[in-house]
Copies of this chain bind each other. A is one copy, B any other.
Amino acid sequence: MMEPEVITSLQNPRVKQLVKLRDRRPRDQAQQFLVEGYRQIRRALNRGFAPVELYHCPDWYPGDQGNEAQLLADAAAAGARVWQLSAPAFAKVAYRERPDGLLAVLPQWRRELDDLTLSANPFLLVVEAIEKPGNLGTILRSADAAGVDGLIVCDPVTDLFNPNVVRASTGVLFAVPVVIAESGAVRAWLRQKGVRSVATTPAAEGLHTDADLSGPLALVMGSEQYGLSDTWLAEADQTVRIPMAGQADSLNVAMATIITLFEAVRQRG
């Protein structure tokens, strides 16, 4: 059956599948995920991540950029199938508050610990069981700004390809190498590589600024609700805390991660 040039039906199977990809199970079944908006799709393309499908709707273009046509051409050249949607159809598939008429479907990927390329003085960020997509996205941005070799996500609760992680990461998902792994395997791998693990917990005695963060380093951060697991706390090479002047919950995990990462950046010169 020929597919229409412009998809107008809200019952079109592709439209329905785009809506489904917001949820984890269909996303994992399809091994695909959504990337919405010009800037994010452009960043994916620039990093060599090619969409398999690209949906556009000129009615939703903000109108002041005019570089959508080039994006469509670049995506097509990279192998994407391109469809136009009617304004109502695009409204149905868009999940951003202010859609800009561009939505891509990309294949998921999976990296293993041994896929990480460690620099001469390894610098890694490890997070355990992060629950909120927005926090994982912010953590990705912090990891990018601090210049880590990679982000290791242990025992994830939210998945990396959640649309809100993708959005909150502002394209950093395509820049920072991310590995999903089980905590025990991560600890064994860090020991094998000679990388010191420094875990942040309010229960630690020493401050993060008094720890030596200048050598091969994996900073380890716990989950929003439960903090770090007992095993990480017991087996980390060192635990540190961030000094807190105000109410105990003023720093969330994303904020604590930024503080610790940039103290490491300072020490590493």
Q: Is the CB of B262 within 8 A of A171?
A: no
Mark interface residues in A130-148 (1 if CB within 8 Å of B CB, else 0): 0000000010011011110
A-B contact pairs, 8 of them (CB 8 A): A142-B250, A145-B244, A146-B245, A170-B247, A172-B246, A243-B265, A245-B265, A259-B259
Q: Is the CB of A250 within 8 A of B209?
A: no
Checking B142, B176, B265 against A255 with a beta-carbon cut-off of 8 angstroms, the contacting residue is B142
Q: Does A251 contact B (CB under 8 A)?
A: yes
How long is the Cα–Cα vector from A70 to B63 in the complex, in angstroms?
A: 55
Checking B141, B146, B251, B262 against A145 with a beta-carbon cut-off of 8 angstroms, the contacting residue is B251
Q: Is the CB of B175 within 8 A of A247?
A: yes
How long is the Cα–Cα vector from A255 to B257 in the complex, in angstroms?
A: 10
Q: Is the CB of B265 within 8 A of A145?
A: no
Q: Is the CB of B259 within 8 A of A147?
A: no
Which residue of the partner chain B has the closest CB to A144? B246
Between A146, A176, A262, A266, the greatest number of chain B beta carbons within 10 A of the residue's beta carbon is seen for: A262
Which residue of the partner chain B has the closest CB to A254? B255
B residues in contact with A255, CB < 8 Å: 138, 141-142, 145, 258
Beyond known contacts A144-B245, A144-B247, A175-B247: 10 more, CB 8 A cutoff: A141-B250, A142-B251, A145-B250, A147-B246, A171-B247, A172-B246, A176-B246, A243-B265, A255-B258, A259-B262
Mark interface residues in A155-175 (1 if CB within 8 Å of B CB, else 0): 000000000000000111001
A150 to chain B, nearest CB (A): 13
Q: Is the CB of B172 within 8 A of A247?
A: yes
Stoichiometry (number of copies): 2
A8 to chain B, nearest CB (A): 33
B residues in contact with A259, CB < 8 Å: 258-259, 262
B residues in contact with A146, CB < 8 Å: 245-246
B residues in contact with A262, CB < 8 Å: 242, 259, 262-263
Q: Does A5 contact B (CB under 8 A)?
A: no
A49 to chain B, nearest CB (A): 15
Interface of chain A residues 40 through 87 with chain B (CB within 8 A): 43
Interface of chain A residues 222 through 248 with chain B (CB within 8 A): 242-247
Which residue of the partner chain B has the closest CB to A246? B144
Q: Does A249 contact B (CB under 8 A)?
A: yes
Q: Known contacts A250-B141, A250-B172, A259-B258; is A209 also within 8 Å of B245 by CB?
A: no
> Which 9 A-B residue pairs are closest in the complex by CB-CB distance?
A147-B245, A144-B246, A145-B250, A141-B250, A144-B250, A259-B262, A209-B266, A145-B251, A145-B246
A99 to chain B, nearest CB (A): 19
